[in-house]
Amino acid sequence: MNAGIAPGQLRLPPELWDRVVDFLQDDNHALKCTSLVCKAWNPSSRFHLFDTLRFYTARSAFQSVTEIPHIVACARAIEIRSAPRPTMLEFCAILDAMPNLIRLRIAIQCPLGPPPPCYRARPIRQLEFVDCIGLSEELFDVLGLFTSIEHLYFSRAGVPASRPPVLPMLCKPVIRKLSACNRTFIDRIHDVIFVVCIGSLETFSLDRVMNTWHEVEQVGEMLVALRSTLLHLELGPDIVHGRHFSMQSSGLLWANMNLMQCQSLESLKLTCDGRYGDICVILQAYLAACKAAPPSLRSLCISIRYLPQNESWPDEMGHSVGVPASWDDLDRSLVTHARRGLSVTVELRDRPASTELFKSFIAGRLPGAVKQGRLLVV
């Protein structure tokens, strides 16, 4: 805007820019554009906080720190999508210029090199690594820049390699929540858990990162290490969508995952996409978690997205769905073996017609659990 105006032409006064920014505060895209072109704007009042600044190179972010420090200081979140790998010195300079920073997203490339020995670590609310396919030991250099991280998030990050030796960190952060999704390599999460998270992690979320029995066993190792502090667990294992996964495999799934050893666990949420795999087998396997639940568990929520369409249901075509004996055994288990203090909920997320059909299906297969209120379908 103002940045493209030739010398001598009319410019908007700073007090009018205040009004413009006020108007755009709820428009993330407009803020990202506006904040980078209004280099002459200086806020007359200090309550302005930009939602996000996005830079496609670390060099441009570093340049903004020197050219528009008053705007950079007003940002609450920053995203750096850098193909050329930034240096750690540049990265630390950017962080120092943003006192209001609560969320940091690093994409493509992670900063390289150790942090300055005199760097003062700070807390942050959310730290994200997205599309960092080659993420390796440099991850721990970045984690060491923070004293505490409320939420550490990974998406498509890490490398499927042997674990590198971890060098001494500038600071060992206290991490409360860790999430990984979209084919993030479990090896990297395993490293973070054992190097940083033991003794502090309360919420652990894994979605679409467990595709093999070896990965299930790795998750089991992590849950054992976290058993004294872990309160909330969210899982979306890909392995249940496999053609060879059956109801008989569900006992092995929870045993290998060491679910029973999570002595502090209060809530377990299991998610799946009904478009993939056998929805009946998945539901049976998830409900079987009741048998392997630790005594501390108070809530089991099964969230199913994208239910099968009406015409694809075998019941509608006069065929049987699943093995009746296994449904009967599961129904008896929910009625007689599930603890009275355990709330079991199946959450359906799809069109009303599909959800009503699936609710009827569950009521027909698990009548005792539904009638006695041991299983709630919403």
pLDDT in tens, 164-186: 556 688 999 999 999 999 888 89
**To the nearest 5 percent, what fractions of the chain are helix, strand and coil?**
40, 20, 40
Coil, strand or helix at 12:
coil
Residue 18 confidence (pLDDT): 55
For residue 259, the SS3 value is: helix
How far, CA to CA in Å, does 100 sit from each of 41, 111, 140, 300, 353?
Answer: 18, 21, 23, 37, 47
Of the given ranges (41-45, 88-92, 160-164, 364-368), which has the lowest mean pLDDT?
Answer: 41-45
pLDDT at 188 over 80: yes
Lowest-confidence pick of 2-6, 321-325, 331-335, 372-376: 2-6
Among 217, 206, 333, 326, smallest CA distance to 278 is for 326
Question: Per-residue pLDDT for 27 more than 60?
Answer: no
pLDDT (mean) for 53-59 = 73
pTM of the entire structure? Answer: 0.83
pLDDT in tens, 141-159: 999 999 999 999 999 887 6
pLDDT band per the 50, 70, 90 thresholds, residue 55: confident
DSSP calls for 292-360: T--TT--EEEEEEESPPPGGG-GGGGT---S-HHHHHHHHHIIIIIS-TT-EEEEEEES-HHHHHHHHH
Render pLDDT for 267-296 as a digit per residue (tens, 0 to 9): 999 998 877 778 888 888 898 898 888 999
Instruction: Characterise 182 by phi-psi region: left (phi > 0), alpha (psi -120 to 50), beta (else).
Output: left
- 339's CB contacts (< 8 A; 6+ apart) are 293, 295
pLDDT of residue 319: 40
Judged on CB neighbours under 10 Å (0-12, 13-18, 19+), 83 is: exposed
Task: Give the residue among 186, 91, 189 at the shortest CA–CA distance from 146.
Answer: 91
% the chain with pLDDT above 70: 78
In this prediction, residue 20 has a pLDDT band, given cuts at 50, 70 and 90, of low
With beta carbons less than 8 A apart as the criterion, state whether 141 and 113 touch.
yes
Give kind and range of the element (H or E) at residue 155.
strand 146-155
Element (H, E) at 149: strand 146-155
Q: What is the per-residue pLDDT for 2?
A: 37
The residues near 324 (Cβ < 8 Å, ≥ 6 apart) are none
